[in-house]
Chains A and B, each alone.
Chain A
Amino acid sequence: MALIVFRGGFRTNHLLLRRTFLFSARRDSSLLCTIQQHHQRSRYNVRAESLQATESKTSSKSIQMATKELVEKKTRGYEAIIGIETHVQLSTITKAFCSCPYTYGSQPNTTICPICMGLPGTLPVLNSKVVEFAVRLGLALNCELSVASKFDRKQYFYPDLPKGYQISQFDIPIARKGYVDVDLPVEFGGGHRRFGITRVHMEEDAGKLLHSESESYSQVDLNRAGVPLLEIVSEPDMRSGIEAAEYAAELQRLVRYLGVSNGNMQEGSLRCDVNVSVRPIGQLEFGTKVEIKNMNSFSAMNRAIDYEISRQIQLHNKGQVDQIVQETRLWDEGTQKTFTMRKKEGLADYRYFPEPDLPEVVLTKDFIDQIRQSLPELPEEKRRRYENLGLSMQDVLFLANDSSVADFFDATLENGADVKLAANWIMGDIAAYMKNEKLSINELKLTPQELSELIASIKNGTISGKIGKEILTELISKGGTVKQLIEEKDLVQIVDPAAIEALVDKVIAANPKQLQQYRAGKTKLQGFFAGQVMKESKGKANPVLLNKILAEKLNCPS
């Protein structure tokens, strides 16, 4: 993933070779210098557009590594401090303080009632599931739970906030001082990181404003008002875009594993706001922090943060530190830049005070213990366990990313399959099928038992690997058992040397011209013969035996 910087309207890419194309000399001479130093190393011409596609697993490892070095070189002398505030929409059946349901995409103002509309005379009553989910997440984030917490009113005026205040938690959040362990993707250098969690608290969501095309009026949709949220505030521990993106991805993994949210950034059930500041290495005080909003994917987060870091460093380098002001900037996916949303006119005063309509939230030890016992194996635990099984980090990260994939994998192992082979099948053919057909692993007709059976059949030589692949497709799409399919289609591998020899003889006899060519020196034709034998045997010939016998026959005419 490359850094993209915009100057004077040019969309430029650091990895472009032609330095004459880059910046106009009157600005950014420092950056130009850096680029000049690096153009020898960056031999790749990657188009900017491709980076706007989804997670770029297609770029080769070396590009990312080169980028990483480039980034490090660019930020030399400076350190970026990144903190993230994440809002997670909880998948409770009803809203936080009333009994309205919530479904993303409903017709406007159809899932509302007097309470979430804030009609005069209405009062909030806490949905206990919200507390349960908060405790689940707090425990999963290794936090200290507040045994007695309370709600507070956060007051401001805006049309999507029906009561004129948001019920939130201010000074006593339900969970504090936790941490999350992540593994950085292998393509970005890998490595473990631990990021601190400052607090987790419960609050309600606001409605949505829909602005008309003409901008002459706006409409208020209160469907979302009152939906329960958990706000997770991280310590400013992240140092780069990729660390931030991985932190957010881990939070998504966690909330999905725990079943507290579907964690969809596109639907808005997982929202991240990022705070970025830079400081020269060695300086103790933090630099001015800038908030960035409007990133709709992890890769957007990554790019936005990296852009903002370089923007700030440049201002530092030009001696214009004071131009970095505390403000909110929006990420523009189109131009791949951050721009000012509005200059902050001082800090907002939310006039917090304790919510008088709701009693204290008290957690008993039994309640907490019960929830702790019901926690599933969390992603971090799974990753460590898979690592101990001997899998590579790449495999570990893939398998542990989705809990249903992990469960499938675990079930396959339980049936006796070899670890590495099971991993390969799942990450290879099965994942490809899922991607093509846009299915989840649970929607496939293939069962873990059958996968295990398939692996065993190949291992013990009953069928060849190639046949195995064919059967797999059928098992995935139509189901059935391995044994059944082998029988039906007569797929048992031919391992009898005599039988293979017969086939080889047949093929050689049928292709005298090629034989002659082979004997004359075109040894590459062995592949041709092998292919023909395979065809004759309907793919059942054991490849190893086949090639051995074929080679003998071809080389020693008799």
Chain B
Amino acid sequence: MPFPIQNPRLLLTPRHLPFPPNPISLPPKPFLRPLSSAPSPSPQTLDAIPSSSPPPPPSSSSSILSIRESLLSRRTKAAELAAEYLDRLRRAEPRVRSFLHVSDAAMREAEDVDRRVERGEEVGPLAGVLVGVKDNICTADMPSTGGSRILEGYRPAFDATAVRRLREAGAIVIGKTNLDEFGMGSTTERSGFQVTTNPWDSSRVPGGSSGGSAAAVSSRQCVASLGSDTGGSVRQPASFCGVVGLKPTYGRVSRFGLMAYASSLDVIGCFGSSVVDAAIILSAIAGHDRLDATSSKHEVPDYASLLVSLDFLDSKPLKGLKIGVIQETLGDGVDGGVISSVRSAASHLEQLGALVTEVSLPSFSLGLPAYYILASSEASSNLSRYDGVRYGKQAAAEELSFLYGDSRANGLGHEVKMRILMGTYALSAGYYDAYYKRAQQSCR
């Protein structure tokens, strides 16, 4: 999985998108109708803003904020919204195939929201918002396969903390999205079940491993979605599908309920059609969790309120900001198109006032090999539990070693097996110091 060099999306308007915005499958964005001139901020963002900073982004820049506004002003019903998304989901699915499972409770949950709004009760900041969840994140009421045949039909006994927090904020989980098996891959072609196509061009991949989540938001099958990122699995598909993908800092979001791939690298991230949406979702899911000892205790700010709309920025908003471009990322072996994209992004930043310098990071080349060793080693350990003994598909066998061997041989895909083998090798006696330990040290 190559390190993705992401275009900063905060200040780019859609006309900078590489692909022509002319997909037949892409529906009109229903909530970007021009609104009344006075920006009507949504209730939850008002509190955190100190009086000196500019007002929050208008609802027009955020699907989530528009939905909230519509619901609270009674212009739309959650049930209508849910029906619309579900309809679009079903119509797009035959081609995009981003979902492994669609919830049968979505309409019911939407109707609940409507009842509460009707009664004037408090509804959470994400009420009525339809969210897709990557299938390696546990949901108690829906199967969670991790994209693998070995967990076909498996239903967790609990919700992942991130899912629980979304639900507590009022979100409706519309379904589970497709992924490369256990997060291992960068095209979603390694799913044990189906291949997801890029909504912009069905001959192309959506990226991976969170391809389903990215495609679902991109084709407006849901408003936002959760994914996971270990080596680029949120950032890269976001780029491929033309949506905002946010990988939070490790520890910012609880990993409890995320099927572990590489425990020291995994994070749960999110997709949205705008930066504001991604920020709102992050605020909802971030924060310390007593069920995850690696989750950070730092306070969670209201990220959306810290965003400043284009309209309120002067011409050189990045003045004083120093940005480094790592030389080694633009050197040998990098595609010409990628180099020119990076360079044009760098000059755009300069135009906005930033000071862009090229820096050399000699150890950069160690990054990918170190990643492969660490990730594979931890994966080989984390995937040991998939043996068919307690859950998942069990192969019939007379002897214990065959029960384990056959269950795993049949249930796990090629890519996963390869990484388990690599990881097992790297950790085996005599090799731990040479590989894992050195990879750890190069990370520091």
* Residues of A in contact with B (beta carbons under 8 Å apart): 114, 117-126, 153, 155, 157, 159, 162-165, 220, 349, 351-353, 356-359
Measured CA separation A118–B157 after assembly (Å) = 12
Q: Which of B156, B377, B404, B429 contacts A120 (CB 8 A)?
A: B156
Q: Which residues of A contact B194 (CB under 8 A)?
A: none
**Told that A157-B387, A356-B294 touch, could you supply 11 new A-B pairs with CB distance under 8 A?**
A119-B156, A120-B144, A120-B259, A123-B294, A125-B290, A159-B400, A164-B384, A349-B429, A351-B428, A357-B260, A359-B293
Inter-chain contact A122/B381, CB cutoff 8 Å: no
Interface residues in B144-174 by Cβ distance below 8 A to A read 144, 146, 151, 154, 156-158, 160
Inter-chain contact B291/A123, CB cutoff 8 Å: yes
Inter-chain contact A122/B428, CB cutoff 8 Å: no
Inter-chain contact A121/B293, CB cutoff 8 Å: no
Shortest CB distance A3–B (Å)? 39
Measured CA separation A163–B57 after assembly (Å) = 46
Measured CA separation A352–B378 after assembly (Å) = 11
Inter-chain contact A157/B138, CB cutoff 8 Å: no
Inter-chain contact A353/B385, CB cutoff 8 Å: no
B255 near A: Cβ within 8 Å? Answer: yes
Q: Which residues of A contact B259 (CB under 8 A)?
A: 120-121
Measured CA separation A349–B264 after assembly (Å) = 23
Q: A121-B259, A159-B389 are in contact. Are A165 and B384 (CB under 8 A)?
A: yes
Q: Which residues of B contact A125 (CB under 8 A)?
A: 290-293
Q: Which residues of B contact A164 (CB under 8 A)?
A: 381, 384-385, 387
Q: Which residues of A contact B263 (CB under 8 A)?
A: 356-357
Inter-chain contact B158/A153, CB cutoff 8 Å: no
B391 near A: Cβ within 8 Å? Answer: yes
Inter-chain contact A162/B257, CB cutoff 8 Å: no
Q: Which residues of A contact B156 (CB under 8 A)?
A: 114, 119-121
Q: Which residues of B contact A352 (CB under 8 A)?
A: 427, 432
| Shortest beta-carbon contacts, A-B, top 5 | A164-B384, A356-B263, A351-B427, A356-B264, A121-B257
Q: Which of A122, A356, A358, A359 contacts B378 (CB 8 A)?
A: A356
Q: Which residues of A contact B256 (CB under 8 A)?
A: 121-123
B130 near A: Cβ within 8 Å? Answer: no
Interface size of B by Cβ–Cβ distance < 8 Å?
41
B113 near A: Cβ within 8 Å? Answer: no
B424 near A: Cβ within 8 Å? Answer: yes
Q: Which residues of A contact B377 (CB under 8 A)?
A: 353
Interface residues in B264-295 by Cβ distance below 8 A to A read 264, 290-294
Measured CA separation A257–B397 after assembly (Å) = 49
Shortest CB distance A262–B (Å)? 29
Q: Which of A118, A126, A349 contacts B385 (CB 8 A)?
A: A118
Residue pairs across A and B with Cβ atoms less than 8 A apart, 28 shown, are A118-B385, A119-B156, A119-B391, A120-B138, A120-B144, A120-B151, A120-B259, A121-B138, A123-B256, A123-B260, A125-B290, A125-B293, A126-B293, A155-B384, A157-B404, A163-B384, A164-B381, A165-B381, A351-B427, A351-B429, A351-B432, A352-B427, A353-B377, A353-B427, A356-B378, A357-B263, A357-B294, A358-B293
Shortest CB distance A155–B (Å)? 6
Q: Which residues of A contact B144 (CB under 8 A)?
A: 120-121
Q: Which of A114, A162, A165, A349 contacts B157 (CB 8 A)?
A: A114
B16 near A: Cβ within 8 Å? Answer: no
Measured CA separation A155–B389 after assembly (Å) = 17
Inter-chain contact B293/A123, CB cutoff 8 Å: yes
Inter-chain contact A353/B390, CB cutoff 8 Å: no
A124, A155, A157, A351: most-surrounded residue (chain B CB, <10 A): A351
Inter-chain contact A351/B424, CB cutoff 8 Å: yes
Shortest CB distance B250–A (Å)? 11
A120, A122, A359: most-surrounded residue (chain B CB, <10 A): A120
Inter-chain contact B157/A119, CB cutoff 8 Å: yes
B436 near A: Cβ within 8 Å? Answer: yes
Nearest-CB residue, chain B, relative to A156: B384
Inter-chain contact B260/A121, CB cutoff 8 Å: yes
A114, A124, A126: most-surrounded residue (chain B CB, <10 A): A114
Shortest CB distance A226–B (Å)? 14
B137 near A: Cβ within 8 Å? Answer: yes
Inter-chain contact B432/A121, CB cutoff 8 Å: no
* Residues of B in contact with A (beta carbons under 8 Å apart): 137-138, 144, 146, 151, 154, 156-158, 160, 255-260, 263-264, 290-294, 377-378, 381, 384-387, 389-391, 400, 404, 424, 427-429, 432, 436
Inter-chain contact B391/A121, CB cutoff 8 Å: no
Q: Which residues of A contact B138 (CB under 8 A)?
A: 120-121
Q: Which of B290, B292, B389 contacts A220 (CB 8 A)?
A: B389
Inter-chain contact A121/B381, CB cutoff 8 Å: no
Inter-chain contact B384/A157, CB cutoff 8 Å: yes
Q: Which of B257, B391, B432 contacts A353 (CB 8 A)?
A: B432
Shortest CB distance A207–B (Å)? 10
Measured CA separation A351–B144 after assembly (Å) = 29
User: SS class of chain B's interface: helix, strand, loop or mixed?
Assistant: loop
Q: Which residues of A contact B258 (CB under 8 A)?
A: 121
Shortest CB distance B40–A (Å)? 39
Measured CA separation A162–B151 after assembly (Å) = 15
Shortest CB distance A221–B (Å)? 12
Measured CA separation A356–B293 after assembly (Å) = 10
Inter-chain contact A353/B436, CB cutoff 8 Å: yes
Measured CA separation A358–B292 after assembly (Å) = 9
Q: Which residues of A contact B154 (CB under 8 A)?
A: 120
Q: Which residues of B contact A124 (CB under 8 A)?
A: 293
Measured CA separation A126–B292 after assembly (Å) = 10
Shortest CB distance B100–A (Å)? 15
Measured CA separation A122–B257 after assembly (Å) = 6
Q: Which residues of A contact B432 (CB under 8 A)?
A: 351-353
Inter-chain contact B381/A155, CB cutoff 8 Å: yes
Nearest-CB residue, chain B, relative to A347: B429
Measured CA separation A124–B264 after assembly (Å) = 14
Measured CA separation A327–B311 after assembly (Å) = 77
Measured CA separation A351–B158 after assembly (Å) = 31
Q: Which residues of B contact A117 (CB under 8 A)?
A: 390
Q: Which residues of A contact B157 (CB under 8 A)?
A: 114, 119
Q: Which residues of A contact B384 (CB under 8 A)?
A: 155, 157, 163-165
Shortest CB distance A130–B (Å)? 13
Q: Which residues of A contact B151 (CB under 8 A)?
A: 120
Shortest CB distance B24–A (Å)? 38
Q: Which residues of B contact A119 (CB under 8 A)?
A: 156-157, 391
Q: Which residues of B contact A118 (CB under 8 A)?
A: 385, 390
Measured CA separation A152–B56 after assembly (Å) = 47
A117, A122, A126, A155: most-surrounded residue (chain B CB, <10 A): A122
Q: Which residues of B contact A126 (CB under 8 A)?
A: 293
Shortest CB distance A55–B (Å)? 39
Nearest-CB residue, chain B, relative to A218: B400
Shortest CB distance B140–A (Å)? 10
Measured CA separation A359–B293 after assembly (Å) = 7
Inter-chain contact A114/B146, CB cutoff 8 Å: no
Measured CA separation A368–B366 after assembly (Å) = 41
Measured CA separation A120–B256 after assembly (Å) = 9
Nearest-CB residue, chain B, relative to A117: B390
Inter-chain contact A349/B257, CB cutoff 8 Å: no
Q: Which of B146, B381, B391 contacts A153 (CB 8 A)?
A: B381
Measured CA separation A353–B429 after assembly (Å) = 11
Shortest CB distance A57–B (Å)? 45
Measured CA separation A356–B377 after assembly (Å) = 11
Q: Which residues of B contact A357 (CB under 8 A)?
A: 260, 263, 293-294
Measured CA separation A357–B138 after assembly (Å) = 18
Shortest CB distance A431–B (Å)? 49
Q: Which residues of B contact A349 (CB under 8 A)?
A: 428-429
Shortest CB distance B316–A (Å)? 43
Q: A117-B390, A349-B428, A352-B432 are in contact. Are A163 and B293 (CB under 8 A)?
A: no
Shortest CB distance A347–B (Å)? 8
Shortest CB distance B430–A (Å)? 9
Measured CA separation A352–B380 after assembly (Å) = 12
Inter-chain contact A123/B255, CB cutoff 8 Å: yes
B151, B381, B391: most-surrounded residue (chain A CB, <10 A): B381
